[in-house]
Amino acid sequence: MKATLWHNNRCSNSRGALALLQEAGADIEVINYLDTPPSAAELRVLLKEMGLPARDLLRTKEAVFAELGLAEKLDDEAALIDAMAAHPALINRPIVRTAKGTALCRPPETVHSLLD
């Protein structure tokens, strides 16, 4: 099984999802999204696949959230997506995509729903 993981190694949830994918024997493409952030277009695709609005993928406790005044823009999909593309620390993680679907895997055990 092929899986893509948008990963931050400093995040315990992200490390947990990676471990579960490895235990399942998945062929994993790991994308350190802080180094290789998704574009706004890629974020739109991921959000559509997950069935989530942009606000549900947003890390609101990051300093840049307040700096950009995003609390006042929570209903502005385009503004939130553009902010996440420009400041990938705002993207919640881990995001996992397999042939069974795409999900924000918080908690990491959510990854089980994406495994064969």
DSSP one-letter code for 102: E
Residue 16 phi, psi dihedral angles, 5° rounding: -65, -40
In the residue annotation, 11 being an active-site residue is answered as yes
Q: Write down the catalytic residue from 3, 6, 8, 11.
A: 11
* N-terminal to C-terminal alpha carbon distance within the chain: 8
What is d(CA 93, CA 107) in angstroms, rounded to the nearest whole number? 10
Residues with catalytic annotation?
Answer: 11
